[in-house]
Structure 1
Amino acid sequence: MALAGEAWRQARTELQQRMKNIAVEEHLSALGHWSIYRSAGLHPRNFVGIDMAVDCMDWPVNLRQEFVALWRPLQNSLMGAQGVIVRWPDSSCQRKAELLAAFIRHYPRCISDLPWPMALFFARLFLLAGQVGLYILHRAQVVARLGLDIDMFEGADDQLPALYRMCMANEQASPDQAFKLLCDLREEPIGHLPEYNDFLQLANLYLPRESATLGAESKVQECDRSFASAIKGKRIAIVGPVNNGLDNGREIDDFDLVIRPNHRSNNALGSRFFGARTDISYYLEDDLRKNALEPDNYLTAMSSLQFVVLSKSCLSTFPWLSRLTGRLRPRFEIGIRCNPFFTGYPSALPRMLMDVLRFAPLEVKVFNADLYLGRRYGGNYLRANAGYTLYPGFTLHDPVSNFIFMQRAWRGGWFNTDPVLAEILSLSVIDYQAAFLRVHDNSDSR
């Protein structure tokens, strides 16, 4: 904890030094630029300057005092987090966040008046606390404030202005606008940097497939050659864990390749709904860790697969994976310079789609997914962990960004779906948010 707190104080000191040379009227803009940081979770940089921003606000004295009295204890807890925050650093944080949320419901301006990166931080913080209504409200306000105004990003570090401009284009409903911005982005210096090639390619998935002809295909790395060969020109079924009541099994098994997340022998899924075949499976380190004492549940299933896709860190964490030599494939990593989302990172289903679509399959169809609008999971998905909450995952994998990507790629003809998911992807963003709110909001105000 001491080390993490020291990192926070160092960031604070650097920010204070920067502010010394800036006129008072420019403080809010400078604080906003400082707070822009594209990280997987909540980062200290997102909130290190919040109390400075509050000092710049023209709020009544009592309002400022009440906000600070609720925010400061939560800030002190967050300062002790190890690295980025995807879970509460101590058990008191949830209650502190709930008290702040109750205040913000009455005084929403205390968030909406802040520089937009700070307001986005609070939106994600409220999502972590299960206050889904506040998350939706303030996320929508941030998007409305930004629009496609690139001036909001001037002065940000590195290539963030260009990336955020494209990510905002991805968030918009107009493919024509996104197409124009993507063309412009390719003409800027960032468009010629190899490290941003994957970002530009993934941004294509927001466009109609027939118009997404910008640039060459991503260069296939040596570790992906056999995987690319297996995917190219094939009919691919990607199967989620949701029992949506449809008899999808026979159609799933008729595809050339069947891909699932976290395939294991002790997670029996009814073949009538989920199909019986699995050729490729993607695994998260957390999934493997939950069953670390029973590796045979994975080894038995993995031994029958063509490819076992996981992060490189898994190989050192789980030595038993060495028995699968020849089947292991490093997963496609979507880091800061590759992520096309406005906020958050792709969850399992969009991540699999992004990976597979890079290798020119003939057809991709997604089955048994509802984008978290239900809890009808098949097998023992999530049931082994009675106290498990989805909110850390929601904070890391922003649900609205994930929905928008899925909807745009589906409308653009990049993949097909079963009727249940098609109905969900036909919703407006507002209607999806309302449905998500009904299922997942933990606030007392519903």
Structure 2
Amino acid sequence: MQADGDAGNATLEQVTAACYADIEAEDYTGARTRLRRMEAMGRTGKRLAHADWFITLMAAESDCDSRGIEQLLSDNDREFGALIRGQRVALVGPVPSKIAQGAEIDEHDVVVKFGYRGGDKGRDPETQGARLDVSYYNNSQAKLLAESNYDEVFASIRWAVCNNRKGLSHFPEDYPGLRLVASLQWLLPDTHLNAGPNALLDLLRFEPSGIKVFNTDMMLSSGRFAGYFPDGAKSIDHTRSFIKTHDPILQYQLMHRLWVCGHIEGDERFEEVMEMGLVGYLNELQKAYGANTRALV
């Protein structure tokens, strides 16, 4: 991607892909040079501002905050930011856990979870924490929720956040307490962020005092807590998902960099996964999904 982006006849898409490649390679000077070229090629100001913020975040530069992307913020974003800014945030994943860390989760100022559809699902006081302030939804989760009594669900939490416009479209326009993430999808090389990295980048825009990740192991466990998937849902072929939709190397590199820079920390299992490094993580991923004994393609 970097070589393609260096070519004199490179397209805007190739320069954009090269910019991301520079970021992953930790060449932040090169990434900003690409931004200037992208601007000369007609890339919009809002996207450039968001990308510049992302580079600053990944470079762990001291002035990384949301003021540089003020033009990206909607009124909903500003209200949401008032909840997050300066607060200790617990980001709780859906991986089942037997570790009694619910009390620690609930002690945080803000508790963030995924795909909440009401009731006690995902709110086990012992392992997941009973609190829930913010829930993120992918398109499938948003569609499922929209077909139920979502008013009651949304009334029980402070904010619901959709990961894409398609998910948001399932609800009435300007529904209170509902917002859309500012996506970096356009910058990524033909892949999508998983729920965890997507939520982390969204939250970090609003300058929390810290984020701690719980019940998350970067897909090394394919199971989810009881009730996370609806009854009768088809099983997910994760190996196909890795190839087609969610590049695991990109996901890990991004999360690992956020961890190395001190933007996030995690519970014992998350720290263990981060300490594996990329090669160790991929070895464990292959074991988890059978790639040592069968072909993926």
Please say whether Structure 1 and Structure 2 have the same fold, judged by a TM-score greater than 0.5: yes
Rate the CA distance shift 1:193–1:215 in 2: closer, same or farther, 3 A.
Answer: farther
Q: Out of 260, 264, 276, which is 2:130 matched to?
A: 276
Q: Give the deviation of 1:306 after TM superposition.
A: 1.0
What fraction of aligned residue pairs are identical, expressed as a percent? 22
Task: Report what 2:220 is aligned to.
Answer: 373
Q: Out of 174, 184, 204, which is 1:334 matched to?
A: 184
Task: Report what 2:236 is aligned to.
Answer: 388
Pairwise mapping of residues 193-212 of structure 1 onto structure 2 (< 5 A)?
A: 193-194=44-45, 195-210=47-62
Q: Which deviations, in whole Å up to 9, do the C-alpha atoms of 1:143-185 show, x marking residues without a partner? A: xxx6x54566543322532x2222112322xx4xx23223434
**Structure with a larger share of its residues in helix:** 1
Q: Give the deviation of 1:396 after TM superposition.
A: 1.4
Task: Report what 1:353 is aligned to.
Answer: 200
- 5+ long unaligned stretches in structure 1: 1-145
Secondary structure at 1:160's aligned position in 2? helix
Task: Report what 1:287 is aligned to.
Answer: 141
Pairwise mapping of residues 250-269 of structure 1 onto structure 2 (< 5 A)?
A: 250-265=103-118, 267-269=121-123
Task: Report what 1:308 is aligned to.
Answer: 160
Q: Out of 225, 239, 251, which is 1:402 matched to?
A: 251
Secondary structure at 1:378's aligned position in 2? coil
Q: Out of 186, 191, 195, which is 1:344 matched to?
A: 191
Q: Say if 1:248 and 1:274, in contact at 8 Å, map to a contact too.
A: yes
Rate the CA distance shift 1:410–1:343 in 2: closer, same or farther, 3 A.
Answer: farther
Task: Report what 2:86 is aligned to.
Answer: 233
Pair 1:433 & 2:285 matched = no
Q: Say if 1:234 and 1:257, in contact at 8 Å, map to a contact too.
A: yes
| Residue identity matched to 1:329 | R
Q: Give the deviation of 1:404 after TM superposition.
A: 0.5
Q: Say if 1:343 and 1:401, in contact at 8 Å, map to a contact too.
A: no
| Residue identity matched to 2:237 | T
CA distance in 2, matches of 1:316, 1:215: 26
Q: Give the deviation of 1:344 after TM superposition.
A: 1.2
Q: Say if 2:112 and 2:135, in contact at 8 Å, map to a contact too.
A: yes
Task: Report what 2:33 is aligned to.
Answer: 184
CA distance in 1, matches of 2:92, 2:78: 23
Rate the CA distance shift 1:439–1:292 in 2: closer, same or farther, 3 A.
Answer: same
CA distance in 2, matches of 1:326, 1:213: 29
What root-mean-square deviation, in Å, do the aligned CA atoms of Structure 1 and Structure 2 show?
2.9
CA distance in 2, matches of 1:342, 1:388: 23
**TM-score, normalized by length of structure 1?**
0.58
Q: Say if 1:248 and 1:273, in contact at 8 Å, map to a contact too.
A: yes
Pairwise mapping of residues 44-59 of structure 1 onto structure 2 (< 5 A)?
A: none
Pairwise mapping of residues 77-92 of structure 1 onto structure 2 (< 5 A)?
A: none
Rate the CA distance shift 1:257–1:153 in 2: closer, same or farther, 3 A.
Answer: farther
CA distance in 1, matches of 2:44, 2:236: 41
Pairwise mapping of residues 141-220 of structure 1 onto structure 2 (< 5 A)?
A: 148-149=2-3, 153-161=7-15, 163-172=16-25, 175=26, 178-188=27-37, 190=39, 193-194=44-45, 195-210=47-62, 213=64, 217-219=68-70, 220=73
**TM-score, normalized by length of structure 2?**
0.84
Q: Which deviations, in whole Å up to 9, do the C-alpha atoms of 1:383-419 show, x marking residues without a partner? A: 6324333345432121110111000111011111111
CA distance in 1, matches of 2:20, 2:122: 39
Q: Give the deviation of 1:253 after TM superposition.
A: 0.5
Rate the CA distance shift 1:154–1:380 in 2: closer, same or farther, 3 A.
Answer: farther
CA distance in 1, matches of 2:53, 2:252: 19
CA distance in 1, matches of 2:35, 2:170: 39
CA distance in 1, matches of 2:218, 2:65: 29
- 5+ long unaligned stretches in structure 2: none
| Residue identity matched to 1:218 | I
CA distance in 1, matches of 2:177, 2:92: 20
CA distance in 1, matches of 2:81, 2:131: 20
Rate the CA distance shift 1:152–1:439 in 2: closer, same or farther, 3 A.
Answer: farther
Secondary structure at 1:260's aligned position in 2? strand
CA distance in 1, matches of 2:145, 2:65: 43
Q: Say if 2:122 and 2:128, in contact at 8 Å, map to a contact too.
A: no
Q: Give the deviation of 1:300 after TM superposition.
A: 3.1
Q: Give the deviation of 1:242 after TM superposition.
A: 0.9
CA distance in 2, matches of 1:240, 1:258: 11
Q: Give the deviation of 1:381 after TM superposition.
A: 2.3
CA distance in 1, matches of 2:235, 2:3: 42
Choose 1 or 2 for highest CA Rg: 1
Secondary structure at 2:197's aligned position in 1? helix
CA distance in 2, matches of 1:188, 1:151: 10
CA distance in 2, matches of 1:346, 1:315: 17
| Residue identity matched to 1:421 | F
CA distance in 1, matches of 2:135, 2:66: 30
Rate the CA distance shift 1:242–1:218 in 2: closer, same or farther, 3 A.
Answer: same
